[in-house]
Structure 1
Amino acid sequence: MNAPVERLDAAGRASVGESPVWRAAEQALYWVDIPAQKIVRLQVDSGRRAEWLLPEKVACIAFDRRGTVLAGCETGLFAVTLPEAAQACGSEPVAASVRKLAAPEFGAEGMRFNDGRCDRQGRFWSGTMVMDMTAANPAGALYRFDANGVLSAPVVDSLITQNGLGWSPDGKTMYLSDSHPLHRLIWAFDYDIESGEPRNRRVFADLHHHAGRPDGAAVDADGCYWICANDAGLLLRFTPQGRLDRQVPVPPTKPAMCAFGGSKLDTLFVTSIHPGASASEHDGHVFAVRPGVTGLPEPEFAGEL
């Protein structure tokens, strides 16, 4: 299936573009560039761009109700304040103000947080990974950070490259993937919306039977699960029963994560990775896809940072 696709950020290119988040109050898209240690904002209608610099790699973000950022970084979870002065600074990033909230006991050297977002009740979830993917070290784990500021013990462990977090529209199914080439699996869990506990883990989709590796994901209003097929230049949509029903080509070879947004939540924003010498002109940019379906508002963190 083909869908209209537009490249948004002609003035900027990420090394590893991740964690797109649509802020309806600003009609703006935020995302991160992990190795550049930056949070980026694009006001889509005007094309105005702002960047903030963090003191370490930042992999995933969510917002609380006051607009403070909750960020998963190298050494832990941080509350991040983005100075508004950055609006007038063009392409020069402005230093963000950060405060450490919590940190797990990492299972190995050289780890960081990776994919993360809030569940429908506003709990923040994120997983860890060993940054050297060639090591194929299953030291990664998935954690929950609740509205009281408590970081859980590992909820899911033995992950190499945690990815693909998402929740069904009613919040009662949680999705998680491991995008490492040795795994390439997406799991579904029954999710207790009261306790925030996932149970009954089972394989939802095995991408050894499809193109690409399962990277970041989004869930649409019909409950279908959209996954970025990294290395394949595709978005794949699976029904709640785990059946692949759509494949949407996108220009970058390595789409990294997707999120619904726009004034009608009918745009799927896609970040991507620049693979170095083999990169095309599209890799590392952000794209807007009109897939013909609508998404759900991105939940905010339920606590105050």
Structure 2
Amino acid sequence: MRSPFDCVLDIKASLGECPVWSVDEQLLYWVDINAPSLNRFDPLTGQNTAWAMPEAIGCFALRADGGFVAALRDGVWFADRDGKLGREIAGAPYDPAHHRFNDGRTDPQGRFWVGTMNENRDAATARLYRLDPDRALIPMISGITISNGLAWSPDSRTMYHADTATRTISAWEFDPATGDISNERVFARFVGESDRPDGGAVDREGCYWSAFYRGGRVVRISPRGELLAEFSLPAMCPTMCAFGGPDLKTVYVTTARQRREADELARLPQSGGIFAMRVDVPGMAEPKFGGQRCNSTRLRTSA
């Protein structure tokens, strides 16, 4: 059966991640964690612009006053509109020999949430942090192995979070005014070897979309946790999905080709590309980080 997804950028990224649609520019931003770069893709022209990063970049967010906030291995940094790193916002709250920042997203009120992962995948030592606009980095969830899947419901009252290693997506009650979370519940749990929830997104009907790493598909789950649909991709390792396009009815999915066997890559040569599929239900515009420039003494002078 033919996949409903088309490859719109056959770039063969090692670990493509964190697709973010800029409504203002009508452009898709994304990262390659392993070949460290922040990228800008124009769907109309097919052109991709890559800005090299000095080390692994797990995720980023658009900023309200322009540019980006980027989570690198050694900390969270401001970056300008051309991907040039500026001042450090917060240092890495972990041992970078064993951990790094992974998935992240801005909540509807402009706070940047960023999770970490244990690169050995042998212990639940990772955490999820909240970076407030005043640049305070606050630990919110502990006991995670691979933090992923951040997304918020349309009414901003529910926060979703996945631990890929445990194949579990959790839902938390979310207070938009304070950014506090409470009353965790299991939203969806999977048991199959290929059922590894990675990055997620929510559409305007409140349905949660999850990319199944090593599963070759994206799933749509109802607000009640019911599996509604599955969509296959011509790549085994989708990593994250995002809604884009003028009407926010295009689902973009980043993928990876790291550690895949040669015969699989021969069969699925577009692995590591960016894929797109049109849908009937639109997503929501990606919020921007509200933090302003800081007076940190640590400044990147070059990449």
TM over 0.5, shorter chain: yes
Looking at structure 2, the residues matched to 258 and 71 of structure 1 have their Cα atoms a distance apart, in angstroms, of 18
Shift of 1:137: 2.0
Match of 1:199 in 2: 182
Q: Secondary structure at the match of 2:191?
A: helix
Query: Is contact 2:4–2:232 with CA below 8 Å preserved after alignment?
Result: no
Residues 276, 107 of structure 1: CA spacing in aligned structure 2 closer, same or farther, 3 A cutoff?
A: closer
Instruction: Please say if residues 211 and 238 of structure 2, whose CA atoms lie closer than 8 Å, have aligned partners that are also in contact.
Output: yes
Distance 2:95 2:156 in 1: 29
Q: Provide the rounded CA distance (Å) in 1 between the counterparts of 2:104 and 2:163.
A: 13
**Counterpart-to-counterpart distance in 1, 2:49 and 2:134:** 31
Q: Secondary structure at the match of 2:39?
A: strand
Aligned residue pair count: 288
Q: How does 1:6-17 map to 2 (within 5 A)?
A: 6-10=6-10, 12-17=11-16
Aligned-partner Cα distance in 1 for 2:249–2:189: 27
* Distance in 2 separating the partners of 1:110 and 1:72: 16
- Which secondary structure state, in structure 1, belongs to the residue aligned with residue 143 of structure 2? strand
* C-alpha RMSD over aligned residues: 1.8
1:4 paired residue number: 4
Partner of 2:224: 241
Work out whether residues 61 and 288 of structure 2, in 8 Å CA contact, stay in contact via their aligned partners in 1. Answer: yes
Task: Provide Cα deviations, 1:66-94, integer angstroms capped at 9, x if missing partner.
Answer: 321111110111111243xxxxxxxxxxx
Aligned partner of residue 8 in structure 1, secondary structure: strand
Say if 2:3 and 2:234, in contact at 8 Å, map to a contact too.
Answer: no
Paired residue for 2:300? none
Say whether 1:176 aligns with 2:164: no
Task: Report 1:137-152 matches (<5 A).
Answer: 137-152=123-138
Alpha-carbon shift at residue 228 of structure 1 (Å): 0.3
Checking the alignment, whether the CA contact within 8 Å between 1:162 and 1:178 is kept in structure 2 is yes
Q: 1:218 and 2:201 equivalent?
A: yes
Cα distance in 1 between the residues matched to 2:193 and 2:97:
33
TM-superposed deviation, 1:104: 4.4
In the alignment, the residues of structure 2 paired with residue 47 and residue 231 of structure 1 have an alpha-carbon distance, to the nearest angstrom, of 27
Structure 2 residue 142 is matched with structure 1 residue 160: no
- Name the structure 1 match of 2:106: 118
Who is 2:288 aligned against? 300
Q: 2:213 corresponds to which residue?
A: 230
Q: 3-state SS of the aligned residue for 2:246?
A: coil
Native 8 Å contact 1:2 1:248 kept in 2? no
Where does structure 2 lack aligned partners over 5 or more consecutive residues?
294-303
Q: Distance in 2 between matches of 1:2 and 1:297?
A: 29
